[in-house]
Amino acid sequence: MTTMTKIHLTNIDKPGQQSLDKYRERGGYKALEKALTMEPLAIIEEVKTSGLRGRGGAGFPTGMKWSFVPRNTGKPTFLLCNADESEPGTFKDRLLMERDPHLLIEGMVIACLALQCHLSYIYIRGEYEFVANVVNQAIEEAYAAGILGASVMSKDFALDIHVHMGQGAYICGEETSLIESLEGYRGYPRIKPPFPAVSGFLASPTVVNNVETLTALPWIINNGGAAHAAMGTEKSKGTKLFSVSGHINKPGVYEVELGYPLMDFINNECGGIRDGKKLKAVIPGGSSVPVLTAAECVGVLLDYESLLKAGTMLGSGGMIVLDETTNMAQTLSVIADFYAHESCGQCTPCREGTGWAAKVLRNLLAGKGKKSDINLLLKIADMMEGKTICPLADADVMPIRSFLTKFRSEFEAYCTE
C-alpha cells in the first residue's frame, strides 16, 4: 500500500465523519472560510490553476466550464451536483456521500460562491435512498449551523441546497437529461448547443458537476491550485477515485495519483487477482469504455491520455477486473442488455440498435447464432456510432466493438454454422 496524498478519502474511515462536529474537528469548512474572503473570479482562477478535470466521465476542465457561464444575464445561475452514478462498475460517489457528506456540501458552497449561485440541487439516483438520507441529515445540520441559508457563515451570501431523487434511469446521469428530469419532465437528453452553461435548468446558466469533482474543491482552496497541479501527469492533474469490482482480492474504492501504473494498482493496491487466477481483461472506466486485454494492460498508466493511447478511456473510474474464467460473450451480453434497457428511445439508431445488438447476443448464447452474426453486430455498432443525440449509443458501441474484435474466437465458439 502506498502513502499517497489523499484529496477525497482522507477521513473516509474515521468514526463519526458524517457529523458536522467531527467534520469540523478534522479541519472541515476551513476552505469555505477562506473562499468567503476571495473574489468569485479568484476562486475560478484557482480551480483553473489546479488543472482539475470533471470526474463524471468526460474529463472536461472544471475551471474552464465555470468560466463559460455568462454573468449578469439577469437570470439566476444554478449548480447541479450529478450524483446519479448509474454506470455499471461505478460506486465512488456513493462512498463520498455516505461517509463524508459535509465534504460535498463544502465543495458545493465553494462552487456556488465562484458561480454566484444561490440555489443548488444534488440529483441522487433513486436506488441511493439511504445515501440521500445521510446527505439530507448533513444539509439539515449545515442549515442549523448557518453554513447554508440566508447568510452563509454570517456573510452576505444566500444559498439553498436541496436533494432531488431520481427514479432509477441511467440516462438521467447525462447532464441535459438530468436537467429535464429535475424540471419535472421525462429524462430525455437535449440537443446541444445550447450548452447548459448558457441555457440549462429553467433556461438559465447551469453548471453540472460530478460529486467527486466537487469534493476536490475544499482541498484545492486549502492547499492552492498549484499544489493540486503538482500531482499527477502533465495533463491529468490530481488524484482519481477508482471503484474496483470483479475478480479481485480487495474490491473497493481507491484513491491514487493520476498516472499510477495500472498493473501495480491491480496487484499492489487491490491485492491481485482472486484465487491465484490469471488476469484476462480490464474494463478501466465503467462498462461503456473499451475493454483491455491482459497484455494491453502492461505498461499502461491510469490517466486520461495514457488510457486514450491504449485505446480506451478513464471514464468514471469504474474498474471491472476479469480473470481467465470469464465468459466474454456472456459478459458482453449483460452489458448490451443494460444499454438496450436504458436507451431513452428518442433516436432511432440507439433505440433500435441497442435492442437489436442485445437480441443477437442473447440468440448467440442460446446456441442459435450464425458466424455472420459477429459481423452483423459490428455493423450495428457502425450504424449507431456518432449518429445520436447523446453518447449512450456510443457507450454500447465501445464494449461491443472491443469485445468482438479482441475476443472474437469466444463468440465464434457459440456459432452453430
In whole angstroms, what is the distance from residue 80 CA to residue 248 CA?
Answer: 34
**For the window 171-210, what string marks contact with ligand FMN as x by the rule CB under 6 A?**
x-xxx--------------------------------xxx
Instruction: Look at residue 68 and give the partner it binds from ligand SF4, ligand FMN, none, a contact being a CB closer than 5 to 8 Å depending on partner kind.
Output: none
Query: Stretches 67-75, 216-224, 253-261, 387-395: which one binds ligand SF4 (CB under 6 A)?
Result: 387-395
Nearer to ligand FMN, 58 or 153 (CB): 58
189 binds ligand SF4 (CB under 6 A): yes
CB within 8 Å of 63: residues ≥ 6 apart: 44, 45, 46, 47, 48, 49, 50, 52
Residue 296: which of ligand FMN, ligand SF4, none does it interact with, CB under 5 to 8 A by kind? Answer: none
344 interacts with, out of ligand FMN, ligand SF4, none, CB within 5 to 8 A per kind? ligand SF4
Which phi and psi angles does 18 have, rounded to 5°?
Answer: -70, -20
Angle of CA points 209, 214, 217, to nearest 5°: 140
85: left (phi over 0), alpha (psi -120 to 50) or beta: left
Please give the full DSSP string across 265-316, using - where no structure is assigned.
Answer: IIIIIS-SBGGGPPEEEEEBTBTTSPPEEHHHHTT-EESHHHHHHTTS--TT
User: Any contact of residue 181 with ligand SF4 (CB under 6 A)?
Assistant: no
Is 390 near ligand FMN (CB under 6 A)?
Answer: yes
Residue 175 contact among ligand FMN, ligand SF4, none, beta carbon within 5 to 8 Å by kind: ligand FMN
Q: Which of residues 145-174 bind ligand FMN (CB under 6 A)?
A: 171, 173-174
Q: How far apart are CA 251 and CA 271, in angstroms?
A: 9
Residues numbered 82-111 forming contacts with ligand FMN, rule: CB under 6 A: 82, 84-87
**One residue of 35, 131, 258, 350 binding ligand SF4 per CB under 6 A:** 350
110 touches ligand SF4 (CB under 6 A): no
Q: What cell numbers appear for 266 in the block?
A: 491491480
Shorter beta-carbon distance to ligand FMN: residue 114 or 328: 114
Residue 97 corresponds to which cell in the numbers above?
456521500
User: Does the footprint of ligand SF4 cover residue 400 (CB under 6 A)?
Assistant: no
Q: Binding residue for ligand SF4 (CB under 6 A) from 171, 211, 258, 336? A: 171
Quick one: 189 or 284, whose CB is closer to ligand SF4?
A: 189
Q: Exposed, middle or buried, 1 (CB in 10 Å: 0-12/13-18/19+)?
A: exposed
| 82 vs 173: CA distance, rounded Å | 7
Chosen residue from 8, 55, 99, 102 binding ligand FMN by CB under 6 A: 55
Question: Any contact of residue 213 with ligand FMN (CB under 6 A)?
Answer: yes
- The Cβ-side half-sphere exposure at 35, using a 13 Å CA radius, reads 35
CA 138 to chain centre: 22
User: Which range in 38-46, 254-262, 385-393, 401-409 contacts ligand SF4 by CB under 6 A?
Assistant: 385-393
Out of ligand SF4, ligand FMN, none, which partner does residue 168 contact, by CB within 5 to 8 A per kind?
none
Q: Within a 10 A sphere around the Cβ of 295, how many other Cβ atoms?
A: 10
Binding region for ligand SF4 (CB under 6 A) out of 202-210, 287-295, 307-315, 382-390: 382-390
Which residue number, 99 or 190, has a Cβ lying nearer to ligand SF4?
190
Reading the block at residue 312, the C-alpha cell is 480506451
- Distance CA(19)–CA(387), nearest Å, equals 47
Rama region for 279: left / alpha / beta (φ>0; ψ in -120 to 50; rest): beta
Applying CB under 6 A, the residues found at the interface with ligand SF4 are: 171, 189, 343-347, 350-351, 388-390, 392-393
Q: For binding to ligand FMN (CB under 6 A), which residues are involved?
A: 54-58, 60, 82, 84-87, 171, 173-175, 208-210, 213, 390-392, 395
